[in-house]
Amino acid sequence: MSEYRNKLFSTAKINGLELRNRVIRSACFEGMCPDGYPTDRLIELHRELAEGGVGMTTMAYCAVEPDGRMRETMMYMHEGIRPQVEKLTRAVHEAGAKISGQIGHCGNFSQNRKLQGKRPLGPSAMINLSGIPYGVPFAGAMTHDDIDRMVQCFHDAALFMKSAGFDALEIHFGHGYGLSQFISPKTNKRRDEYGGSLINRMRYPLRALEAVRRAVGNDFPILGKMGLTDGVKGGLKIDEAIEVAGLLDDAGIDALIPTGGTSSMNPMLLFHGDSILPGLIAVEENWITRMGMRIVGPSIFKEYPYKELYFLDGAKRVRDRIKHAKLCYIGGVSTMESLDAVMKEFDFVEMGRALIKDPAFVNHAMADPKYINGCDHCNRCATLIFSRQGIRCVSNDKQ
């Protein structure tokens, strides 16, 4: 076994947390909370990943308050779901792995008709294109009081999640969600101390990080998923993204996960490979949304042919900029050769589709140096996030 493979399967720490290996299941939204509550299917998914050998699995998209959900069928952190969440974290621990929770807020592109605030809020007032078919066409600008309240929501959600058994938290600073909307010059048009220069645009995200740290303590691991580029005109670009990484590092984040793209404006940059547009149209139940997808979808869902390690160059630039945080690579890792290349450069690796294809990837790779995963990057798994079944590998259905 190569030295890099030995490193991959060796124990490693993020802050005070020791993982049994360096493979982390990325926060791929599972779509298994149809009524906003974690289901037994969600629990079994993460139990299976833990039994399959990952060092840590990540429960995707844990909204910090009710209006932080894109749809009402997503979770937000509150005492009403404590029994289910504790059952989930306990199942992962019993299988020998650790569990992280991705904490975030959707900001201004909610499709949730049950918004307590009546309309989604972000850095600036704008049309909410993704919310039009659901009767949520306009987004407002957050006031200073709104920002203060949201910082408290991050604190309270983090406090709840730690108490419910999570071993780490991953703050979502990317993919066009709420914190990313403040970071990106495309969506942040403010003229106060929360807009304009990068340090101003980072003010609210850094306050959210500080609030989470205050809630969980100095020894508890906090990871951050950050964008390398929005992939849209006027959006965040790589040079500024490197400075974002530096600011998060200086603020005491424990690990960074550099990614790219935006869910609402350029989602295929996240995935590469086959377009998810046809599959999203097929499972969408709202006919207005289906029609809109057919009309505007081709301009949003751009073509990015799949290649292994497609965020490698950007991730190396982040690694060279940060001084304290660990670097967790994500983006096109499905072969043993790619894992060797990642371990040569970075501390940890996050995997999504390859673990959807085979939740026992780690066990199989440890047993067979020539293991072949078989994920063909068709991306049909990603099209099922809002379906009734939830996410799964469609190719496995045929076997």
Q: What confidence category does residue 399 fall into, taking pLDDT thresholds of 50, 70 and 90? A: low
pLDDT in the model for residue 389? 83
- Tell whether 342 is covered by a domain: yes
Tokens of 355: 């673990």
Q: What is the largest CA-CA distance in the chain?
A: 57
Contact (CB, 8 A) for 315 and 350: no
pLDDT for 22 beyond 80: yes
Q: Is the pLDDT of residue 13 over 70?
A: yes
pLDDT surpasses 70 at 262: yes
Q: How far is CA 274 from the centre of its chain?
A: 20
Classify residue 128: in a domain, yes or no: no
What is the pLDDT, as a whole number, of residue 1?
A: 61
- Note the pLDDT tens digit of each residue in 66-82: 999 998 889 999 999 99
pLDDT confidence tier of residue 321, bands split at 50, 70 and 90:
very high
Confidence of residue 352 (pLDDT cuts 50, 70, 90): very high
Beta bridge partners of 59: 101
Q: What share of the chain is helix, strand, coil (3-state, %, to 5)?
A: 40, 15, 45
Q: What confidence tens digit (pLDDT) does each residue in 353-377 have?
A: 999 999 999 999 999 999 999 999 9
What would the mean pLDDT of 149-173 be, rounded to a whole number? Answer: 98
The CATH number given to whatever domain includes residue 216 is 3.20.20.70
Is 97 part of any domain?
yes
Task: Supply the range of the domain harboring residue 69.
Answer: 3-112+143-397
For 381, half-sphere exposure in the C-beta direction (CA atoms, 13 angstrom radius) is 22
Per-residue pLDDT tens digits for 299-311: 889 999 999 999 9
**What is the arrangement of strands in the sheet containing 138-141, beginning at the earlier edge strand?**
121-122, 138-141, 126-127
SS3 19: strand
Distance CA 105, CA 154 (A): 9
Q: Is position 177 annotated as part of the catalytic site? A: yes
Burial 261-271 (b: 16+ CB within 10 A, else e): bbbbbbbbbbb
Q: Phi and psi for 141 in degrees, rounded to 5?
A: -95, 135
Task: Please count the CA atoms within 13 angstroms of the CA of 156 that sit on its side-chain side.
Answer: 14
Summarize the confidence of residues 328-340 as an average pLDDT. 97
pTM of the complete model? 0.96
Q: In percent, how much of the chain has pLDDT > 70?
A: 99
Catalogue the E-assigned strands of the chain. 12-14, 17-19, 23-25, 56-63, 98-104, 121-122, 126-127, 138-141, 168-172, 222-227, 255-259, 326-329, 348-351
Which one, of 153, 187, 188, lies nearest residue 62 by Cα?
Answer: 153
Cβ neighbours of 238 (radius 10 Å): 15
pLDDT at 327: 98
Mean of per-residue pLDDT scores for the chain: 95
Judged by average pLDDT, the poorest of 1-5, 164-168, 179-183, 352-356 is 1-5
129 lies in some domain: no
Asked if the structure places residue 118 within a domain, the reply is: no
Residues 326 and 255 sit within 8 Å (Cβ to Cβ): yes
Residue 121, beta-bridge partner list:
140
Angle at the Cα of 289 (from 288 to 293), degrees rounded to 5? Answer: 120
The reply to whether 12 falls in a domain is yes
Instruction: Write down the pLDDT at residue 131.
Output: 84
Are 1 and 21 a contacting pair, CB within 8 Å? no
DSSP state of 222: E
Apex CA 136: angle with CA 185 and CA 276, to 5°?
Answer: 70
What is the b/e burial string over 77-113, where b = at least 16 CB atoms within 10 angstroms of the residue's CB? bbeebeebbebbbebbeebebbbbbbbbbbbbbbbbe
At 116 the pLDDT is: 87
Please check whether residue 138 lies inside any domain of the structure. Answer: no
Residue pair 232/315 in contact (Cβ under 8 Å)? The answer is no
Label residue 50 by pLDDT band (50, 70, 90): very high
Amino acid identity of residue 218, one-letter, is N
Is residue 313 situated within a structural domain?
A: yes
Mean pLDDT, residues 320-330? 98
Residue type at 399 in one-letter notation: Q
Q: Which of 48-52, 125-129, 259-263, 294-298 has the lowest mean pLDDT?
A: 294-298
Single out the catalytic residue among 76, 177, 194, 329: 177
Helix, coil or strand: residue 192: coil
Domain count along the chain: 1
Confidence of residue 88 (pLDDT cuts 50, 70, 90): very high
CA dist 298 and 181 (Å) reads 23
